[in-house]
């Protein structure tokens, strides 16, 4: 059974710092991995999606890497801003026809002004 874990569970940083969020998964037979942002009481916003054949994806200040063989992914946020404060979730999709996503436990990020 696939299990997805995120470390740390919570993180507080001053504005301007670069930071790294970690995601690990137990079964490396994934189709792709996705990072989401969730604001309190709201739905999910997709940030980056990495296919299993890719090593990283970049969007603006965000960079996500994937090491499928070791079951790890990181989300790097450069020059953090208070508006980045949210819960960040990673999710893996298994191979095959299903679109089922298995979500990680999440990291609650607070960027202090």
Partner 1 sequence: GAVVSQHPSRVICKSGTSVKIECRSLDFQATTMFWYRQFPKQSLMLMATSNEGSKATYEQGVEKDKFLINHASLTLSTLTVTSAHPEDSSFYICSAPLAGAALAKNIQYFGAGTRLSVL
Binding site for partner 1 (CB under 8 A): 4, 31-32, 34, 41-46, 49, 51, 89, 91, 93, 98-106, 108
Tokens 């997805």 identify what position?
A: 4
3-class secondary-structure state, position 3: coil
Cα angle for residues 57, 61, 65 (degrees, 5° grid): 30
3-class secondary-structure state, position 1: coil
* Termini Cα distance of the chain: 41
Whose Cβ is closer to partner 1: residue 14's or residue 95's?
95
How far apart are the C-alpha atoms of 43 and 25, rounded to whole Å? 23
Least distance from C-beta 16 to partner 1, angstroms?
Answer: 27
Least distance from C-beta 43 to partner 1, angstroms?
Answer: 4
Whose Cβ is closer to partner 1: residue 18's or residue 96's?
96
Least distance from C-beta 79 to partner 1, angstroms?
Answer: 27
Least distance from C-beta 78 to partner 1, angstroms?
Answer: 25
Q: Give the closest residue to 3 by CA, choosing from 33, 26, 22.
A: 26
Whose Cβ is closer to partner 1: residue 69's or residue 99's?
99
């Amino acid at each position: 059974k696939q299990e997805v874990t995120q470390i740390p569970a919570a993180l507080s940083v001053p504005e301007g710092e670069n930071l790294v969020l970690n995601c690990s998964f137990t079964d490396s037979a994934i189709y792709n991995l996705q990072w989401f942002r969730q604001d309190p009481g709201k739905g999910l916003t997709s940030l980056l999606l990495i296919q299993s054949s890719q090593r990283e994806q970049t969007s603006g200040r965000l960079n996500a890497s994937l090491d499928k063989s070791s079951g790890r992914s990181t989300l790097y946020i450069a020059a953090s801003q208070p508006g980045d404060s949210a819960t960040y979730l990673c999710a893996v999709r298994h191979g095959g026809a299903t679109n089922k996503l298995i979500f990680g436990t999440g990291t609650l990020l607070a960027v202090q002004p």
